[in-house]
Amino acid sequence: MRKVLTSLLCLALLSTLQAASTAQPPPARAQALQARVQALLARTPGMKAGVSIVHLPSGQRVEVQAHRPHPLASVFKVPVMIELARQIQGGRAGLSLEHVLVLRNQDRCLGSGSLQHQPTGTRISVREAVELMMTVSDNTATDLVFERIGTSSVNRLLADLGLRQSEVYLKNRPAWLVSLGMGSRFRGMSPRQIAATWSRMSPEERHQAALQVETENASLSLARFQAAEDASAERNSHAENVAVAAAVENLGSPSDFSALLERLWKGEILDRKWTTYCLGVLSRQKYRTRIPRLLPEGTRVWHKTGTLAGIVNDAGILEVQTRQGRREAVVVVVFVREVEQGREEAASELIAKIARAAWEAWR
């Protein structure tokens, strides 16, 4: 009964927000927000950020360095979830939220999430895997879902939507293995050499390299995988880790991802049922130190964070209740790269301040 009520509430909220007044706020608001965002960026030197903000009722956009592809980190999981929903909606045979995924040794990935520590043969539904993927950013659950829908499928989704500044095809495990130089093609290379080699490769060559490194390390135990990561952390500098993390990674521009979220919100990608499902998952994000951080208590936010060495991201939609009592929505996407060691908190605070500025601009 609780699930039914939750779905009905989500549907009611979506209808209310989409039906909110479409009267355009004065352009001065967007201009003032543009200036404020640029001032916030200027006061946070030593890192590079791309920002895309869209006021959904009016379509007004505020963008700074928004069309350059950035390393996505775990924000790439958003289009993975949307593509999964699109395939289920389209009736792909054998695929549903109740479909069972089985954990193999070669599926385990380091980093976020606890699924990596579960016994081989652990069974998990697609529904459970998506929840882990999005709310606690579980990397192993993500790879299970991504493998199931096909690693080329998300790029097709992005192409269908006309989002040409993004490329999402790389699972977490092969990205990690390549970055550690654990494939025959990269063994013995420094992080900078791996980054340079990867950057010179064509998309097809990268795809083949990712498949090869997974095959070569299929029997790698989680303990040995973690030991390789620990040794790398001791051996390499932060700058080296940043270089390889930024190179061997899915890419996306803030502008593309704000458009993706805008079209999700408007129901232009999925039908009402699956739009509501995706927004419901995004609303349950556990990491709330970026977009939601400085917003008034009770403000609804649908978002996904992403973090890697030198990379601090968040992409989402926040609710604004205007002084006139209207409930409107604003997309906020902030991707920050080249974050110096020890300045991750400053990058998170920057994202929070930009989100607060967007909230205030259209209140």
151 and 289 together in one domain: no
In whole angstroms, how far apart are CA 99 and each of 43, 96, 134, 151, 349?
A: 49, 5, 18, 18, 39
Tell me whether residue 41 is in a domain: yes
Tell me whether residue 4 is in a domain: no
Picking from 6, 1, 5, the residue whose alpha carbon sits closest to that of residue 283 is 6
167: three-class secondary structure by DSSP: strand
* pLDDT for position 323: 85
Domain that holds residue 36: 24-73+252-361
139/226 Cα distance (integer angstroms): 14
Picking from 138, 152, 136, 154, the residue whose alpha carbon sits closest to that of residue 81 is 154
* pLDDT for position 10: 53
In whole angstroms, how far apart are CA 65 and each of 72, 89, 277?
A: 15, 35, 31
275 and 354 together in one domain: yes
H or E element at residue 281? helix 272-282
263 and 339 together in one domain: yes
Tokens 């998952």 identify what position?
Answer: 281
DSSP state of 110: S
Tell me whether residue 13 is in a domain: no
Instruction: Name the domain count of the chain.
Output: 2
3-state helix vs strand vs coil in the chain, percent to 5: 50, 15, 35
Tell me whether residue 353 is in a domain: yes
216 and 281 together in one domain: no
341 and 289 together in one domain: yes
67 and 84 together in one domain: no
267/258 Cα distance (integer angstroms): 14
* pLDDT for position 13: 52
CA 267 to chain centre: 19
Tell me whether residue 235 is in a domain: yes
Phi, psi of 209 (to 5 degrees): -65, -40
124 and 236 together in one domain: yes
Tell me whether residue 119 is in a domain: yes
pLDDT in tens, 238-293: 999 999 999 999 999 999 999 999 999 999 999 999 999 999 999 999 999 999 99
pLDDT by residue, tens only, the chain of 363 residues: 444 444 444 544 555 544 444 444 447 899 999 999 999 999 998 899 999 999 999 999 999 999 999 999 999 999 999 999 999 999 999 999 999 999 999 999 999 999 999 999 999 999 999 999 999 999 999 999 999 999 999 999 999 999 999 999 999 999 999 999 999 999 999 999 999 999 999 999 999 999 999 999 999 999 999 999 999 999 999 999 999 999 999 999 999 999 999 999 999 999 999 999 999 999 999 999 999 999 999 999 999 999 999 999 999 999 998 888 889 999 999 999 999 999 999 999 999 999 999 999 999
Tell me whether residue 50 is in a domain: yes
127 and 240 together in one domain: yes
101/145 Cα distance (integer angstroms): 8
- The residue from 247, 271, 296 where one domain ends is 247
How many residues appear in the chain? Answer: 363
Picking from 218, 217, 213, the residue whose alpha carbon sits closest to that of residue 194 is 213
69 and 163 together in one domain: no
47 and 187 together in one domain: no
Tell me whether residue 11 is in a domain: no
- Output the domain CATH number for residue 265: 3.40.710.10
19/84 Cα distance (integer angstroms): 27
The answer to whether the CB of 14 falls within 8 A of the CB of 279 is: yes
b/e per residue 212-233 (b: at least 16 CB within 10 A): bbbeebeebeeeebeebbeebe
Picking from 255, 92, 84, 74, the residue whose alpha carbon sits closest to that of residue 157 is 84
- 356: Cβ–Cβ under 8 A, 6 or more apart, which residues? 294, 295
50/248 Cα distance (integer angstroms): 19
- The residue from 247, 267, 291 where one domain ends is 247
334: three-class secondary structure by DSSP: strand
Dmax of the chain from CA atoms? 63
199/197 Cα distance (integer angstroms): 5
- The residue from 188, 214, 247 where one domain ends is 247
Contacts 24+ apart (CB under 8 A), 227-233: 228/180, 228/182, 229/110, 229/176, 229/180, 232/180, 232/191
pTM for this entry: 0.92
225 and 305 together in one domain: no
120 and 266 together in one domain: no
